[in-house]
Each structure stands twice: as structure tokens, then as C-alpha cells.
Structure 1
Amino acid sequence: MLVSLAEYAKKHNKSSDTIRRYAEKGHMHSARKIGRNWVVELEEPYPVAKRPKAAPITLISLFSGCGGMDMGFRGGFDFLGRHYAKNGIDIIWANEIDKDACITYRQNLGDIVEGDIYEVIGQLPKYADIVIGGFPCQDISINGKMAGISGKRSSLYSAIVETVEKVQPKIFVVENVGGLMLRKHDESRRKILADFSALGYKIHYQVYHAEDYGVPQTRERVFIVGTCEDMPAYIPPQETTLFKPLTAREAMEDLEDYPRDKAFSHIWSEAKASKDQGNRKLIADRPGYTIRAECHGNIQFHYSLARRISMREAARLQSFPDSFVFPAGLRATERQIGNAVPPVLAWHVAQSVLAVLQNR
């Protein structure tokens, strides 16, 4: 039954002017003019205004590895019974030089540009809201050469500096090992901070202990965060498991009777104990020890089984969800897991980044 806009408005407890605007904008399917007056079907549902979708926050990722940091920033995964929600971040460009890591990244996260960053840097998008990157740490790590940023690999941080200068993001996040804070690396640290500060960003840096953020592993990492001068200050995320960290047993116990399964990456090294390295055994009731990239099969022994931990167990200690696929062989997977930023730690850092971008 056709009725006047006033009658329709009265039924829905709205003003006639509001209904008229909807009719004039075409939001009411049955509304039409008869002479100079609008009419509408009385039973037409009241139009619900669609909220415009918020534009996604865009991100460029450098030295992406297999995608641990990227997964954390993107969100939308489950780990040990907790859901880590999507963050509304769109990874528009990622880069990694390692072929196997790129294969893993593509299977889990999507497109990635494979190649030396300096050979592909010209392909960078013109803009992104966020730039992230964990530059190679082998020259800074305690387990590495300790050459600092004069080393061939850790000097690659300059590619992140160049990217930030080109893209001018609102915020950037750079990750490296805790060894960057050692006195031996004072000069390297000052140089890195000075180079980023020179781009006009407010710089915040500190050491994060992964076990304090729901990662079942003791792992120290430095995050350097730069924000535009006109944006709120970056405030680090609050610890979530500061006084009760997740243990190795909590992370791995359900896999103790699980058979070898290559598709699930539940495979392990058969390397025997060595007097030089590879003798460390997990303790069930504490977090796992730091997962290394270059342990050459000498990864830690299981806390109760007569074998070394599997790649899936190592991935659990790094907070990768079981849905994350590692298609490479054992050694390549070992390197990818050991090089990665724990996704859960990255997710918490991302919450603080979002707070800056959303002025919360």
C-alpha cells in the first residue's frame, strides 16, 4: 500500500525530512513521485545507511623471511587456545632474498618479491602507512660474528633507512637481536638510531622479552620504532605473561605421542650430542631456550623424549600457529623458524602501532 512519506516516517519514528532525503538519494526502492508528492510502500523496510568501509592500513615488509613478523602484524590466527584478531593491515609489498623462505611466505601470506633488496628497491610502492623489517642479525648476534653494522649482512639495515626515506610512512618498526644493546655495539647502535632520526622521526627503542608476551621461549629482541613528529608517541605494549610465562610443556606436550609427519613439519634432526654444541635440553616447566637459525641440526633436545625437538615443536616455541605450513626440508625450515620474529610478539607490537595510527 502506497502512503505518504509523512505516514511512513511516523511508522518508523523518524522525521519526514530524513525519509525525503533517503527517497531523493534513491535509498528507498519503492519511493516515487506522484505529481509533486512522494509516496512509498508502507511495508518497505527502513533503509539502513551503510557505513563506509575504513581504508585498510598499508604495510611494506623488508627482510620478511618466512613471514613471522608479517603474520603478527596482519593478525587473524590462533595460538595455544588464544585468538589473535585481524588488525586491518594490508601487506602491499614484501621482499626476501632466500628462495625457500619465499616459498613458505607465499603459501601462508601471499605475494612476495624474491631477490636482493638493492636490486628490487626500485619496485617499492610510492607510499605505505607502515614499514617493517628485521634486518639480518648475524653480525650482531652473540652467536654470530659480532662485527656490528660493519659486517656484510647487518649493514643491510641501510636498506630500511632508504625505504623509509623514499616511502615516508607514518610509522616504521625495525627488529634485531638483543645483542644490539651490548656495549660492544654502542657505536653501531648510535649510528643506526642517528640514521633513522635524521629522517625526521621520533625514535623509541627497547629490548622486549618474548616470554613476557605469550611466547613460550626466552628470546630477547630490540624493536626500534619511528613515528612522524606530528603523531602521538609510541607506547610499548603491556606484558601479558610477565609473572607466568608459558612453558615448553604447555607448548609441546600434546605432540609427545604424535608420530613423524613431514607435512606437519613434525620431523627432527638425528644429530647426536656434541661436546662442542647441541647438548642443551629443554626444561619442561620453563619457557624454551632461544631458537637459533644456524644450529646445523644441533637444535635443543626434548625435555622428556630421547630426541631433539621437531620443527613443529620449534615453531610452537616461536608462537607459529599449527596452520602455518613449512614446505621446505628440515635444514631450511630450521633456519626459517630460527630467523623469524615470533608472530605473537609481533602482534602485540602491532597493537601499539595501531594505537599511534588511530590516535588512541
Structure 2
Amino acid sequence: MLQILELFGGIGSPRIALRNMGIPVKSIDYVEIDEKAVRSYNAMFTGELPYKTQDVCGWNLRPDILIHGSPCQDFSIAGHQGRQTKDDGRINYGRGADRGSGTRSSLMWETINIIRNMGAWRPKVVVWENVKNVLSKRMNKNFRKYISEMDSMGYTSNFKVLNAMDFGLPQKRERVFTVSMLGGEFDFSEMEKRPVENLEAFLQPAVDDWYTITAPSMVSCIGKTGVLQRITIIKDFCYTITERPDRAPGCGCLPIGNGKYRYLTERECWRLQGYSDEDFDAAATVNSRRALYKQAGNSIPVPIFESMFDTLLNGGKKIYSSQQTLF
């Protein structure tokens, strides 16, 4: 049975992917501080002892695969400046080293701390997902520092910007995925891609008037080009789903006739992230509309994990070491 550790676990898209693939999996722990996301996770994975909100700092467990998608808003190691360093010049990522920095993305370094504290035994695979902007000129130094730290612990890391549209979902969502491996190397070219499905299959045939865009300030932005504030009209695909597609619809809006437009519904957002209606219905019984939107916007597309795990577990030239399977 595959053992995974979900840090910054959200609503559990890696585990959903493994479940969809029929792979026996044990989540040796799920760590998420957002109580409403924990509610959804528990609702989807019934029959288990309920998880509680947990801080990621200081975790020390032994999974086969560690997945983390730390917050990206403040992606910086500035909070470590002036902190004690190791003799070899590397930053000391001891627990609490960055607790006073006020950043959220600095929690990424807690994952480094967790892996380093495992000692000789470490996860064979570490998967990290983050926004495309971590590769920008301003943030690239920190991204490279993460790769360097993984390298110092014996991992070989490869990264690639993956688009949800390449894995069947009609959502243009680009994110950086980094796969770090012990005794092997992940080849992103071996991930199986899927043709984009028809957007209509993800949309509800009829929705409540609540989703109709009526605010004059928003109506005036629909379909505009060349301006800072604009709302794209969805045609064959939507753009990146965010936490508030009902208030800041960067994903776009849908035409409903008579010159009117509407937001995507919460259910549609979950579908466009690869979740089933059964998953959504379970989460909807314990959460508000606002929370369901936020959880969809913060999630990772399930089909990307399905393809990635299929490559890791079932194929690929470079994921084997000495002719032995990875797990």
C-alpha cells in the first residue's frame, strides 16, 4: 500500500487522483490549517477518523511520497535573513526559524525542515506545486534555493510548467510542478496527456439567477480589451479559477443570452478542477458557497496528479533504479 503525506493538503486532490486510479493508498497524515477545507476532506473520505486542523511546522513522518503546495503569496526567504546559519553556510531551517516573518510562502521551508529531520530515511518522491510566477526574475532565486536544498539531501529535481488544458480540463491553468526523487529522475515528457474535453460537459444546464452578473461596475468590464479591469467571455475554455470567481472572475464569465452573463457556479469550478459531483456533494453538505469557491480555486487539478502518479508507479524510463520499481 502506497503511503503519502499531504502537507498544505487543501481538499486532497493527490489522494483523489490515487483513489480514481484504484491504487491502494494510506494517508499517514493530512496537514491543513484551513478548518473549512478540512471539513470537505473529511466529508469526501468518510469511514475514517476525522482529521483536525494542523499546523505544518515540525512534522516528522515517513511517507513514500510527500506532496506539498505551500502558500505562494509571499514566496520569499527574506524572513531568514539574520538567522543563525549552519557551519557550511546553509540556512538553519529549525522549527520556528521563520515563525515571526509574517510570510505564508515561507512555510515552504518547513517542508525542507521536515525532510531533513527524517534523517537517513526520506520519502522517495517529493512533489511541490506552485504558481508560475515562482520562475520570474524576482522569485527565481528562491526557487533555485529550494532546488539546491533538495539536491543537498540527495534528491534529483526536475520541474515543468503544466497546463490543466493538456490533461483534459477546459481550464487554462498553468502551474509549476517540481518532482524530486531519490535514486532516479522524473521525466515530464512521459506524462500522458489528454485532449481537452468539451466545456459544455462541465456546465450545468440551468442555474439560479444569483449567478447572473448585475453590478454595473462589473457589467461594464465584460469583454473589454486593453484595460486593467476586464472580464473575459468564456468560449471554449475558462481561465484560471481563483478563490473568488463570483467577485473577481479572472476565469471569465458565461453568456446566457439577451446580452447577459453569469459566473461559474461552485459545482462547475469543482468539475473544472477534476472533481466528481459526488465529491462536490459531500463537501457541499458541510460548507458554504464561499468556502466551496475558495477550495476549488486553491486546489490542484486532479488529472495532472493522475498522469504524474501513473508515470511514477506504472511506467517511464527514468523512474527505476537498478531495474527495480520505485516502490
Tell me the TM-score range normalised by the shorter chain: 0.7 to 0.9
The verdict on how the C-alpha distance between 1:156 and 1:267 changes in structure 2, with shifts beyond 3 A counting, is: farther
- The residue number in structure 2 matching 1:318 is 273
| Partner AA of 2:191 in structure 1 | Q
- The residue number in structure 2 matching 1:359 is 325
Q: How does 1:158-307 map to 2 (within 5 A)?
A: 158-167=109-118, 168-229=122-183, 232-236=184-188, 237-241=190-194, 244-252=195-203, 255-257=204-206, 259-260=207-208, 268=211, 272=215, 274=218, 275=221, 277=229, 279-283=231-235, 285=236, 287-295=237-245, 297-299=247-249, 300-304=252-256, 306-307=261-262
Alpha-carbon offset, residue 93 of structure 1: 0.5
Distance in 2, matches of 1:91 and 1:70, equals 8
The verdict on how the C-alpha distance between 1:341 and 1:149 changes in structure 2, with shifts beyond 3 A counting, is: farther
| Partner AA of 1:183 in structure 2 | K
Identity across matched positions, percent? 25
Alpha-carbon offset, residue 66 of structure 1: 1.4
- The SS at the match of 1:304 is strand
Distance in 2, matches of 1:70 and 1:136, equals 19
The verdict on how the C-alpha distance between 1:311 and 1:277 changes in structure 2, with shifts beyond 3 A counting, is: farther
| Partner AA of 1:238 in structure 2 | M
Distance in 1, matches of 2:268 and 2:52, equals 29
Contact 1:216 1:245 in 2 (8 A): yes
The verdict on how the C-alpha distance between 1:332 and 1:166 changes in structure 2, with shifts beyond 3 A counting, is: same
- The residue number in structure 2 matching 1:33 is none
Distance in 1, matches of 2:180 and 2:133, equals 20
Distance in 1, matches of 2:211 and 2:150, equals 41
Distance in 1, matches of 2:210 and 2:42, equals 22
Distance in 2, matches of 1:332 and 1:282, equals 23
- The TM-score with structure 2 as length reference comes to 0.75
- The SS at the match of 2:254 is coil
Distance in 1, matches of 2:253 and 2:149, equals 41
- The SS at the match of 1:246 is coil
| Partner AA of 2:303 in structure 1 | V
Matched, 1:337 2:296: yes
- The residue number in structure 1 matching 2:19 is 75
Instruction: Render the CA deviation track for 1:263-317: whole Å, top value 9, x for unaligned.
Output: xxx974766352464623211x2x2211012556333322436321100111111
Q: Name the larger-Rg structure.
A: 1
| Partner AA of 1:301 in structure 2 | C
- The TM-score with structure 1 as length reference comes to 0.68
Alpha-carbon offset, residue 233 of structure 1: 2.2
Runs of 4+ in 1 over 6 A off after TM superposition: none
- The residue number in structure 2 matching 1:112 is 51
Distance in 1, matches of 2:274 and 2:303, equals 6
Instruction: Render the CA deviation track for 1:88-118: whole Å, top value 9, x for unaligned.
Output: 2221111000010000011113543412212
Contact 1:130 1:169 in 2 (8 A): yes
2:263 corresponds to which of 305, 308, 311: 308
| Partner AA of 1:351 in structure 2 | D
Contact 2:255 2:262 in 1 (8 A): no
Contact 1:318 1:337 in 2 (8 A): yes
Contact 2:165 2:171 in 1 (8 A): yes
| Partner AA of 2:141 in structure 1 | E
Q: Tell which deviates more after alignment, 350-359 or 267-276.
A: 267-276
Contact 2:35 2:52 in 1 (8 A): no
Alpha-carbon offset, residue 330 of structure 1: 1.6
Distance in 2, matches of 1:180 and 1:332, equals 26
Distance in 1, matches of 2:41 and 2:172, equals 25
Aligned residues: 271
Contact 1:297 1:331 in 2 (8 A): no
Instruction: Please provide the CA RMSD for this pair.
Output: 2.5
| Partner AA of 1:128 in structure 2 | P
Distance in 2, matches of 1:311 and 1:268, equals 10
The verdict on how the C-alpha distance between 1:303 and 1:90 changes in structure 2, with shifts beyond 3 A counting, is: farther
Distance in 2, matches of 1:130 and 1:234, equals 13
Distance in 2, matches of 1:172 and 1:308, equals 36
| Partner AA of 1:291 in structure 2 | I
Contact 1:216 1:247 in 2 (8 A): yes
- The SS at the match of 1:205 is strand
| Partner AA of 1:330 in structure 2 | R
Instruction: Render the CA deviation track for 1:50-91: whole Å, top value 9, x for unaligned.
Output: xxxxxx01111100011223312x232xxxxxxxx2122221
Distance in 2, matches of 1:289 and 1:165, equals 37
Structure 1: runs of 5 or more not aligned: 1-55, 77-84, 141-147, 261-265
